[in-house]
């Protein structure tokens, strides 16, 4: 009987340990994850808006875009940016130029993906149609 109780206690202790170990990371991540995610999103959107407003993206020069990204993007955020421009011939949009900055997007963490459009002009008329896709995540 004593041995049985002892085994039960040991089992309970083990269960106690496992459940505590499983619970702790969840509890720790509860407060942190939503706020950091939302802040990351807003910051990334703001950075891209600044790049568009200042015509950095429209210039399609990789070094310029990269330099501004390093300068403006919060240090704790990883990012990937793809910029594409198109010309229109008839009813189809043909890819004209691509600029890619940053590494592969991870699949095991919260990643925010944003997309914006832009136009470049020749005089008052549209010369190129552009899209910028960007991904940000916490490393």
Partner 1 sequence: MKEKGALVTLSSLLLIFALIGLYALAFNQSATTKAFVNELTALNRLQEKKLNNEFNIDSLFYGNRDLNIDFNQGIVFFKQFIPLNANIPTQFDLNALTYDVNNFVSFIKAKETTDYNYSYDVNFGLNALTFTIKPFNTLVRQAVYSNLSKKGIEVIPEQLTFRGYAVRLKDENYSSIQGTINSGAAYYLELAFDNNVTRYNVSSAVLSDFNLLTVSGKTVNIKLNSIKPGSLSTNLMTNATLSIWAGIDYSNQASIPWIESNLIDFNLSKDTSLVSKK
Interacting residue ranges for partner 1, rule: CB under 8 A: 5, 8-9, 12-13, 15-16, 19-20, 22-23, 26-27, 29-30, 33-34, 37-38, 41-42, 45, 49, 52-53, 86, 88, 91, 93, 112-119, 121, 123-126, 129, 131, 133
The residue assigned the tokens 């925010």 is: 112
Closest separation between CB of residue 37 and partner 1, Å?
A: 5
Minimum distance of partner 1 from residue 126's CB (angstroms): 5
Question: Structure tokens of 20?
Answer: 């505590």
Structure tokens, 40: 């990351």
Closest CA to 132 of 101, 107, 105: 101
Our CB check for partner 1 shows the closer of 63 and 94 to be: 94
Tell me how far, at minimum, the Cβ of 16 lies from partner 1, in Å. Answer: 5
Q: Which two tokens stand for residue 129?
A: 């149609």
Closest CA to 40 of 76, 72, 66: 76
Minimum distance, C-beta of residue 68 to partner 1, in the bound complex (Å): 17
**Token duo for residue 43:** 């910051």
Of 112, 52, 50, 107, the closest CA to residue 77 belongs to: 112
Nearer to partner 1 by Cβ, of 22 and 104: the residue is 22
Smaller CB separation from partner 1, 20 or 63: 20
């Amino acid at each position: 009987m004593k041995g049985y109780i002892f085994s039960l206690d040991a089992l309970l202790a083990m269960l106690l340990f496992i459940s505590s170990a499983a619970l702790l990371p969840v509890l720790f991540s509860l407060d942190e994850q939503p706020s950091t995610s939302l802040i990351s999103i807003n910051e990334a959107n703001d950075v891209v808006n600044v790049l568009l407003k200042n015509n950095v993206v429209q210039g399609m020069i990789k070094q310029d875009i990269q330099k501004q990204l390093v300068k403006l993007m919060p240090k704790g955020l990883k990012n990937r940016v793809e910029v594409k421009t198109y010309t229109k011939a008839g009813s189809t949009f043909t890819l004209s130029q691509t600029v890619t900055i940053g590494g592969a997007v991870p699949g095991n963490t919260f990643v925010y993906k944003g997309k914006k459009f832009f136009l470049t002009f020749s005089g008052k008329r549209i010369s190129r149609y552009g899209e910028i896709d960007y991904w940000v995540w916490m490393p």
